[in-house]
Amino acid sequence: MTAHVSPLQTMSFKARSLLAFVLEPTRPVSEWLAALDAWLARSPAFFASKPVILEMAGLKIGVEEYRELLSALALRHIRVMAVENPSRALVGPELPPRVTGGRPAGALAVTEDDATPAAGSKKTPTTTSLIIDANVRSGQSILHPEGDVTVIGRVASGAEIVAGGSVHIYGALQGRVIAGVSGVPGARIFCKEARAELICIGGSYLTAEGMDPKFEGRSIDASLVDDKLEIRILN
């Protein structure tokens, strides 16, 4: 009698490093949600289809209030994939999983090969530049956490650029630009014609309503100075 032996089934596991946006709720939660609503009114699709982590170290909250917070975020189309530094009461089978070891800056472009480096070796994170030789149309969202983004054209109203480093726009900026999301030191935003709905670097931002009218239509350079967003005219 011949025995038939099935081949051994194996599973492959790989580690990856991905970009996620981190929200840090504060008390009073109602006011924090109101501030979030103000942001979403200016940039309604900012968190759409993007991984979001909640940082809970600074918020003492009960499980019922926590569930209400998650529901409030879901109503705003923000899906929480995980939570950092939660209390033990906030970890359960029907709640977002706990994650640790997140780094706010650097640590980009880790591939499967980088996940298990040889003993004694040291990987250096690399950055790349993305060049878009076209206009960015309304409704388009360009996400490039690995480095700078250069647009040879205009960024239309309703369009969005999110870059790990700096953003250079050789045309009119009418949409939204968020630079330095990966913690790149000295990230800046340059554009030939400023008509932006929103510009943001390192969490500091200005909207069209809050921008000085003297920058309207001018060539500008935006940067962070002492954690404050500052703009200078280039022409």
Q: Is the pLDDT of residue 224 over 80?
A: yes
**Token pair in block for residue 203:** 């969490």
- pLDDT tens by residue, 11-53: 666 666 667 788 899 999 999 999 899 878 877 777 777 789 9
Q: What's the pLDDT score for residue 15?
A: 60
Angstrom distance (rounded) from CA 101 to CA 78: 22
- Higher per-residue confidence, 209 vs 172: 172
Residues 159 and 177 sit within 8 Å (Cβ to Cβ): no
- pLDDT tens by residue, 43-71: 777 777 778 999 998 888 999 999 999 99
* Cβ partners under 8 Å of residue 73, min gap 6: 23, 52, 79, 80
Mean pLDDT along residues 57-86: 92
Q: What's the pLDDT score for residue 51?
A: 84
Q: What's the pLDDT score for residue 141?
A: 86
- Which percentage of the chain shows pLDDT scores above 70? 80
- pLDDT tens by residue, 125-153: 455 899 999 999 998 889 898 899 999 99
Q: Is the peptide bond before 28 cis (omega within 30 degrees of 0)?
A: yes
Mean pLDDT estimate for the chain = 82
Q: What's the pLDDT score for residue 103?
A: 57
Residues 71-87 as b or e (16 or more Cβ within 10 Å = b): ebbeeeebebebbbbbe
Residues 3 and 102 sit within 8 Å (Cβ to Cβ): no
Q: What's the pLDDT score for residue 139?
A: 85
Whether the pTM exceeds 0.85: the reply is: no
Task: Delineate the domains of the chain, giving CATH numbers in brackets.
Answer: 21-99 (3.30.70.260), 130-233 (2.160.20.70)
pLDDT bucket at 109, cuts 50 / 70 / 90: very low
Mean pLDDT along residues 73-89: 91
Q: What's the pLDDT score for residue 14?
A: 65
Strand partners, 141: 160
